[in-house]
Amino acid sequence: MHAIEVELLEPVPEEVPVGAEVVLKLAVSCPQGCDLSAMPLTLTGPDEKSVTIAPQEQPREITLKAPQHVGEHAWSIAFPGHECAGVVHEGCTFRLPLRTRPHATSLAVWAVPSPVVMGEKFRINVGAKSSSGCALAGKPIEVSDPAGTVVAGGNLGATPWPGTSALHWAELELTAPAQEGVAWWSVSFAGTALETPHEGASSRFSVAVVRRPEHRLKVEVLEKESKAPIENVQIRLGAYAAATDPSGHAEVAMPKGTYELTVWKVGYDAPGRIVDMSGDTTIRIEAVVVPPENPDAHWIM
């Protein structure tokens, strides 16, 4: 009696998402060189149901479908006793254990305004995406404060965010705290409402909370030599930020106080200064063109 040997030609992951397809590539052989191409096999799944698979060319490929629930599973591939040209081959069984896990979900938070005024309402966009592309439309998503209290919630929309295939999103409204400073919230998606098991996900975001603006700061940025306006210069005063328009102007609404003003744009250098906002204020800043460290850098390959 001859033996039947089974070799797994490619490794199979120990863990896959629920419902995933797993392809097995098997080489079936006899140590004495007998031709086993006419031998069928029997596949028994985790549900104990068996199916006979007709003979195939070598290597044999079998596609398994992982169950739709999380846990430990096993398939059994049986090669029955076989007689060929008067030679009897002893049957054998190949066992494949496999663990399934939930699909992952990822979160995104965007269009978050900062700063926001104490006690005032503001809106943000939140979205969730399934790693397997499952539709999340209509599923709940929540925002909680640091104490774990849900402060906003809604259902994900039916239409994914433009430019994405499956990032379902919703616009939520929050109320800024009554205290000045940095405030944190958490966005969470449970995933329990889905037919296909998914892991939950959470993500944190923050905003700067400020007092109500009292005065306006107008900033003009010019090139020192030519006096030409400079566009898209970044203006920052603590939590407050703006950018200059094509005329070189930027405007920021701010509460009373003393601030450190910084301006920045690649290729320019401008001094910072301290600004006392005790009333509406206008400032002109002259920036100096800064040559590249190596003038020939763009010729170097």
Domain boundaries, given as residue ranges, for the chain: 5-101, 105-210, 215-289
CATH no. for 105-210? 2.60.40.150
Are the beta carbons of 183 and 206 closer than 8 angstroms? Answer: yes
How many residues appear in the chain?
Answer: 301
CA distances from 25 to 6, 11, 57, 59 (A): 10, 9, 11, 6
Q: In the predicted model, is pLDDT for residue 3 greater than 90?
A: no
pLDDT at res. 294: 56
The answer to whether 5-101 and 105-210 have equal CATH topology is yes
Average pLDDT over residues 269-279: 93
* pLDDT tier, 301 (very low <50, low <70, confident <90, very high otherwise): very low
pLDDT at res. 23: 93
Bigger pLDDT: 85 or 59? Answer: 59
Q: Cis omega before residue 46 (within 30°)?
A: no
Q: What is the chain's alpha carbon radius of gyration, rounded to the nearest angstrom?
A: 33
Q: Cis omega before residue 115 (within 30°)?
A: yes
SS3 call for 187 = strand
Full-prediction pTM beyond 0.85? Answer: no
DSSP state of 147: T
Fold of 215-289: Immunoglobulin-like (2.60.40)
Q: DSSP letters of 201-241?
A: EEEEEEEEEEPPP-EEEEEEEEETTT--B-SS-EEEETTEE
Strand 181-189 versus strand 116-117 pairing type? unpaired
Q: Which residues contact 227 (CB under 8 A, 6 or more apart)?
A: none
Count H helices, E strands: the chain?
0, 26
CA neighbor of 205 nearest in space, from 102, 103, 104, 116: 116
pLDDT tens by residue, 109-135: 999 998 999 999 999 999 999 998 888
Q: Which residues of 66-82 are buried (b: 16+ CB within 10 A; e: fewer)?
A: bbeeeeebebebbbeeb
Are the beta carbons of 102 and 198 closer than 8 angstroms? Answer: yes
- The rounded distance, in Å, linking the Cα atoms of 98 and 79 is 20
Q: Which two tokens stand for residue 89?
A: 């081959």
CATH 2.60.40.2950 is the classification of domain 5-101: yes
Bigger pLDDT: 29 or 161? Answer: 161
pLDDT tens by residue, 35-80: 887 788 899 999 999 998 888 777 888 999 999 999 999 999 998 8
